[in-house]
Amino acid sequence: MSEMKKPVIIDTLGKLLDGGYAFNLWCVDCTRGGLLPIDPFVKKLGRDHPMDIDGHVKCGRCGGKNVEVRIQAPQAGDRPFQTNERRFMSLSDSSRPAS
Ligand SMILES: [Zn+2]
């Protein structure tokens, strides 16, 4: 039996955070988007939460949840967050009842 090295499978928020990844979010309704760091999601959902965060993000502009989630790979030697729209997307605060 040859020993095969298992590739690192990134499937949780904690692994995304450790790897320097970010979320690249895109609101289908506004056709706008931006990068969002993993950190607040880890704080809210926990490191073991699957990287599927559908339903946990909302558009900061229209408040819609029709948001496409993509994973932004870390950029070598550069800070990943340079867009002015980084605060465009926000965590959906589901703990607060909508009024
Ligand atoms: Zn929107």
Enclosing domain of residue 45:
13-75
- How much distance in Å is there from the Cα of 1 to the middle of ligand 1? 52
pLDDT digits (tens, 9 = 90+) for 53-70: 988 998 888 999 999 999
Percent of the chain with pLDDT over 70: 74
Structurally, how many domains does the chain consist of?
1
pLDDT of residue 19: 92
pLDDT digits (tens, 9 = 90+) for 8-39: 788 999 999 999 999 999 999 999 888 899 99
Q: How is the chain classified by DSSP, letter by letter?
A: -PPPPPPPP--BHHHHHHHT-EEEEEETTTTEEEEEESHHHHHHH-TTSBS--TTSEEETTT----EEEEEEPPPTTS-S---TTTTTEEE--TTSPP-
* Domain-embedded: residue 40: yes
* Domain-embedded: residue 56: yes
* Domain-embedded: residue 96: no
pTM of the model: 0.69
Which residues make beta-bridge pairs with 91?
Answer: 57
For ligand 1, an ion, list residues with CB under 5 A: 27, 29-30, 59, 61-62, 64
